Chain A
Amino acid sequence: MGSVTMRIFRGDATGGELVPYTVETDPGMVVLDVVHRVQATRQPDLAVRWNCKAGKCGSCGAEVNGRPRLMCMTRMDTFAPGEEITVTPLKTFPVIRDLVTDVSFNYEVAKTIPAFRPKAPEADGTRRMYQQDVDRVQEFHKCIECFLCQDVCHVIRDHEENKKAFAGPRYFVRIAALEMHPLDTNDRIELARLKHGLGFCNITKCCTEVCPEGIHITDNAIIPLKERAVTRMYDPIAWALRRVRGEPAGTPPDPDRPAT
């Protein structure tokens, strides 16, 4: 049995400070266990959001030594003995109290993404999706909505004003899952480009680095969306092919059209 000093943010929307707590630790503990021990033995009013303790509910996101992490998946034995550990709430979202933030920004963005609109059924009345197409979008459905990617994305983390125009990586994953879905008929590219701020992303890949589910957010969701936007807007060969086929050249669908 050892001990650890953990500096935890205590405060609310008006401000706060880092308060050091020294508590005993046991082998196998994770950061969330230590926070709970502080809560149980020192500060019963310490606010922390958690649920599954298994890295699947996405509730206990915080910044541990400045890095967005799930507290339940951050083992204490990954720190050097005697190292002081800092735990702060997710910086991108407003603090409610202590380690609990108001993540409603994300739910508001989610409402702006048109729902799945499937093709008409085949002649036998079914809709089919083939394994290789399932495989491609399966990764996107691993998202647990912990919002660590949203937190670390500098577009909104460091520039509050961009929240009006930028959906964030989690929602590009959602858009990519629908855009690449073989049965979905909604056009997502113009929406991603014009309403969700695809062009704001400068591909610094921090979202991918922090994703606890290991989703390749940048390589498999954002860049393919950017490339589809390039095909639509900028590629001369794609433009020429559309003209040869008699398709409307560069006439984007109305992104404001009602989604079904």
Chain B
Amino acid sequence: MAVAATISGVRERPTERRDAWWAAPLTVVVAFTAFVVYAAWAGTRTAGYYYEPYLSPFFSPCIAANCEVLTFGAPIIGPWFTLAPAMWIVGFPLVFRATCYYFRRTYYRSYFLAPPACAVPDARGSYSGETRFPFILQNIHRYTWYVAVAIFFVLAWDALLSFRFPGGWGIGLGSLILTAEAVFIGLYTFSCHSCRALCGGWLDSFHGRPLWYRLWMAVSRLNVRHGTYFWISLTLVVVADGYIRLLSYGVIADPRIVFGP
């Protein structure tokens, strides 16, 4: 390919943009850093994540012997483990989100300033994108999606169990929060670009494959709002965990209607 150098002078000035291009990356840094700080705090707690029948999504599935409630009935991790049970789980959704195509766009702009905004120069002098370690590992997103689907079904089960109170079936504010959280986790998981590729995107022709075509169209429609689902589901995870902690610490009471057994 022929390569010609651009000229120096006026055109080398950082940017001629005069709008608030810095506002979006700054907002992301503030919002996501706040999430990371909260998640790091909540994920290292050994109590306060379960208030019957609500289990915090940071801790689900709860698989260690020291869990306040065991998702699968029996522990997978033995009693030798005494730290926060979330440590076994929280990494999977974290890596799923970290390798998410939508979020890559967002944090490359906000944290790596590569670039901070369109037509605003990169902060670094050299750039190799996702061709080398560590960023070539972004290609594991497909693997993490498989795990994310499994975690979604666990969270959906948690949402269902959140309607089963000690006195019988009912509806509490926590039930609604956990249900909304599971729904938006599902929307985020199934609007994923990897999901779109797997659900028919790999085909060159849909002719004679009407189910693949419908599936691909459905995921494509969801995919348009993938970024929105990312932020709503992330927020609801924090809201659900925070709500359960406030109940657990006795700060608030759960408004609920129980219909009986």
Q: Which residues of A contact B (CB under 8 A)?
A: 9, 11-18, 63, 65-68, 86, 88-89, 91-95, 102, 104-105, 108-109, 112, 130, 132-133, 136, 152, 154-155, 157-160, 162-164, 179-182, 184, 197, 199-206, 209-210, 218-219, 223-224, 226-231, 233-237
Contacts and interface: CB of A to CB of B under 8 A. Distances in A.
A181 B204 CA distance: 6
A200 B131 contact: yes
9 closest A-B pairs by beta carbon, nearest first, are A66-B16, A227-B197, A66-B17, A182-B205, A206-B118, A200-B129, A15-B9, A199-B131, A130-B207
Interface residues of B, number: 55
B216 to A, nearest CB: 9
B interface, over-half SS? loop
Interface in B91-114: 101, 104-105, 108-109, 114
Contacts of B15: 66
Given A154-B122, A158-B122, A205 B105 contact: yes
Contact of A234 (B142, B196, B201): B142
Interface in B1-54: 1-11, 15-19
B194 A227 contact: yes
Nearest to B195: A227
Contacts of B2: 104-105, 108
A206 B6 contact: no
Contact of B11 (A91, A105, A181, A218): A91
A15 B213 CA distance: 54
Interface stretch (B133-141, B170-178, B245-253): B133-141
A223 B193 contact: yes
Contacts of A163: 1, 3
Given A181-B204, A230-B139, A197 B17 contact: no
Interface in B175-225: 193-194, 196-197, 201-202, 204-207, 213, 223-224
Contact of A94 (B6, B104, B108, B206): B6
A11 B207 contact: no
Given A132-B207, A223-B197, A235-B143, 7 more contacts: A66-B18, A68-B118, A94-B7, A152-B119, A182-B207, A223-B193, A234-B140
Interface string B114-157: 11001111100011111100011001111100100000000000
B128 to A, nearest CB: 7
Given A108-B2, A164-B1, A95 B7 contact: yes
A155 B127 contact: yes
A16 B109 CA distance: 30
Contacts of B114: 154, 202, 204
A86 B16 contact: yes
Nearest to A236: B143
A162 B16 contact: no
6 contacts: A9-B10, A66-B119, A88-B16, A133-B206, A157-B121, A227-B196
A210 B18 contact: no
A234 B99 CA distance: 14
B207 A224 contact: no
A132 to B, nearest CB: 5
**Chain B CB within 10 A, most for which of A63, A202, A229:** A202
Contacts of A93: 4, 6
Contact of A15 (B8, B101, B118): B8
Contact of B223 (A13, A201, A219, A237): A219
A35 B157 CA distance: 63
Nearest to A137: B204
Nearest to B2: A108
Given A132-B206, A230-B142, A108 B1 contact: yes
A160 B6 contact: yes
A132 B211 CA distance: 13
Contacts of A203: 101, 104-105, 108
**Chain A CB within 10 A, most for which of B11, B128, B140, B213:** B11
Nearest to A159: B127
**Chain B CB within 10 A, most for which of A12, A18, A159, A160:** A159
B123 to A, nearest CB: 10
Contacts of B7: 11-16, 94-95
Contacts of B11: 9, 16, 88-89, 91, 95
Nearest to A200: B129
A245 B114 CA distance: 42
Nearest to B1: A108
B1 A182 contact: no
Nearest to B14: A66
A94 B139 contact: no
